[in-house]
Structure 1
């Protein structure tokens, strides 16, 4: 019963937060994106994040919080569009008979976004070592030479990167 009351109170607080700040947030996003449609979408996504975080009632500075969440969504939007554009450019270089279907394109793009999120969570050195071994196919010794570390360090960073991948996969 107490969970139901707290959920009802949280929804009421979110309703107030939405009514008082949605127009402001949409305008704030429109200035940064130069697109009313993208601003409206990201404003809604911001409030969905707040709803999922269940933190509407405990905000001391709601506009600062909303702007922070929205800023992260804007970064994700630009990253997604950048990856999609790079993929489409690479695809345009392929002979026409090798062009994948729309469904295959969507799956490939989703995979690229997942890889980008995974790599973004790694430190700079760990990411460089991971890419040298996994993408470039370098041996541990060659990767160590490239990055300027020992083979033991390469092993530790690879273990860390693989653990990171497994944890993301479980989430």
Structure 2
């Protein structure tokens, strides 16, 4: 008799066998690139490995499409961030350009910051960006956002806690 822990993995394996080709084709039609589609299809299945009860998935293709859309959105955001960084690097004189290793570290850090900022509520994110990028004082941020100074302080504390969690 199979162990209870191997049952979900068997269900995922069946889901993979039955639908991987379809999902990869679906992604290929959206991306126009078979290699990226293969990577994102694999990422989609990696993401669903954590599903507690794969048998509860009633419509596998709808479920896979939903998960794949999230993976695709994250991938597109990462690509846009990378393009923007590389465009900024292209403007630097050659001696000041970072090494490929440094570029990879910076890109990964930028991606982590982007994910952290995206997880913040909009008002917290806006207050944080006004403070950190625009150098605004808390009183000015409060006036800009139409909230109290206490709210801005609370927003900033929340943003800094998220930043510290990123570092840990």
TM-score (norm 1): 0.90
| Preserved CA contact (<8 Å) 2:28 2:34 | yes
- Which of the residues 23, 26, 29 maps onto 1:25? 23
Residue 111 of structure 1 corresponds to 109
Q: Aligned runs of 1:149-160 on 2, under 5 Å?
A: 149-160=147-158
**What does the per-residue CA deviation read over 1:62-90, in whole Å, with 9 as the maximum and x for residues that have no partner?**
11111111111111111011000000111
| Preserved CA contact (<8 Å) 2:44 2:64 | yes
**What does the per-residue CA deviation read over 1:1-22, in whole Å, with 9 as the maximum and x for residues that have no partner?**
x9x7122211221121111111
Residue 93 of structure 1 corresponds to 91
Residue 39 of structure 2 corresponds to 41
Gaps of 5+ in 2: none
Q: Cα distance, 1:150 vs. partner?
A: 2.1
Gaps of 5+ in 1: none
Residues 55 and 98 (structure 1 numbering): CA distance in 2 closer, same or farther, change over 3 Å?
Answer: farther
Q: Cα distance, 1:168 vs. partner?
A: 4.6
Partners of 1:169 and 1:72 lie apart in 2 by 24
Residue 84 of structure 1 corresponds to 82
Residue 71 of structure 1 corresponds to 69
Partners of 1:96 and 1:65 lie apart in 2 by 47
Residue 56 of structure 1 corresponds to 54
Of the structure 1 ranges 107-116 and 149-158, higher mean CA displacement relative to structure 2 is found in 149-158
Partners of 1:66 and 1:169 lie apart in 2 by 32
Q: Cα distance, 1:93 vs. partner?
A: 1.4
Partners of 1:24 and 1:78 lie apart in 2 by 21
Residue 130 of structure 1 corresponds to 128
Of the structure 1 ranges 49-58 and 147-156, higher mean CA displacement relative to structure 2 is found in 49-58
